[in-house]
Amino acid sequence: DNFTFEFEVGLAPEFEVDVKGKKAITQYEIKTDDKTINDQIDRIREQYGKLIAKKEVEEGNEVTGVFRNDDEEINSDATFSTSKIKGKTNLKKFVGAKVGDTLELKTKSLFNEDHDLISYLKIDQEKAKGLEIPVSFEITEVNEREKADLNQEFFDKLFGKDVIKSEEELVEKLREDAGKQFAQQTDQKLLTDVTESLIENTKFDLPADFLKRWIASNGENQLTEEEAAAEYERSEKGLRYQLIESNIVQNNEELQLKFEDLQEYSRKMIRLQMAQYGHTGATDEEVDGVVARIMSNQEEVKRMSEQLQNEKMLDFFKANAKLKKKEMTYEDFIKEAYQA
């Protein structure tokens, strides 16, 4: 018998990518200033300090109690420092109050940070927006947190025996750790911004009708034309970047992943993980045994490939994109980069 097959083909567009671009992209650098480090030391000292029970609330104390509003079905235990209370009027209601007292409060402008209202009242984000209701707060416990002393016992608790031996060494260690954490955040921000810029400035047409039909029929359940169109709208930017990234990789051999690259990357990740758990003397044989197990797992190989490709792309963008460096504190970075 003869059979007739019909195929529909969606062709990937041909285009060129200008990684350099016309407009410079901000590359943030967070400076670990003395205030940031000192604030971190204070938080750690409080975390490892002693709790001293109090009968009456003083400014700076930790207060534990129950928020209630029957109409909104709020009945939530919470513990917070009075430093989180917003405004002198609200603070005055707490200062001088005793264990067993019930305070009458309003949710609007109660805390300095909006997310605290979500956390302490255990309500969702949508409900918290513009929430303006009365709540009662019954005080069940008041504590003063006495900060831990900066001594060898404290250093050993944080980093292990004799790793840190002075306040100066503690400051340098925290500065180093903060620098690594900040670099991860600024690198992720840079990768996001370069990606958005490439999507916006690399012009090409996608075979939209073909892709919508493909989306409609490719999943487990058949989608309607409207559902497929909506899904296409959600995924279009991702599809565009996949094509852009593929184009860049094809034209730059150093970005193309090889099996040996994945093996070496896996070795590095394993040694880092072992070091985190105190196992710093692993032999090559031990590490290679773990690598072999990982490389036999398809999901792990896929995950590591994506991580390594992102690292390679980030390094490539740092070397080739048009960037302008901007140094600032962490607080200013959060405000500017994420419009907080």
Residue 281 has pLDDT above 80, yes or no: no
Most confident of the ranges 29-33, 64-68, 69-73: 64-68
Maximum alpha-carbon separation in the chain: 94
Give pLDDT, residue 339: 67
Looking at the domain covering 50-146, what would its CATH class be? alpha beta
Q: How far apart are CA 319 and CA 143, in angstroms?
A: 53
Question: How many degrees, rounded to 5, is the angle at CA 180 between CA 178 and CA 182?
Answer: 65
Q: Where are the domains of the chain?
A: 1-17+203-251, 23-46+162-201+257-340, 50-146
Residue 70 has pLDDT above 60, yes or no: yes
Average pLDDT over residues 119-130: 83
Percent of the chain with pLDDT over 90: 62
Average pLDDT over residues 8-17: 91
219 band by pLDDT with thresholds 50, 70 and 90: confident
Percent of the chain with pLDDT over 70: 99
Give pLDDT, residue 278: 67
Give pLDDT, residue 190: 95
Distances (CA, A) of 76 to 96, 119, 332: 23, 9, 33
**Average pLDDT score, the chain:** 90
Residue 340 has pLDDT above 60, yes or no: no
* Contact partners, residue 69, CB within 8 Å, separation at least 6: 133, 134, 135, 136
Give pLDDT, residue 145: 87
pLDDT in tens, 306-331: 999 999 999 999 999 999 999 998 88
Least confident of 7-11, 127-131, 156-160: 127-131
Reported pTM:
0.68
Q: How far apart are CA 121 and CA 135, in angstroms?
A: 10
Residue of 241, 246, 250 whose CA lies nearest to 206: 241
Cβ atoms of 53 and 149 closer than 8 Å = no
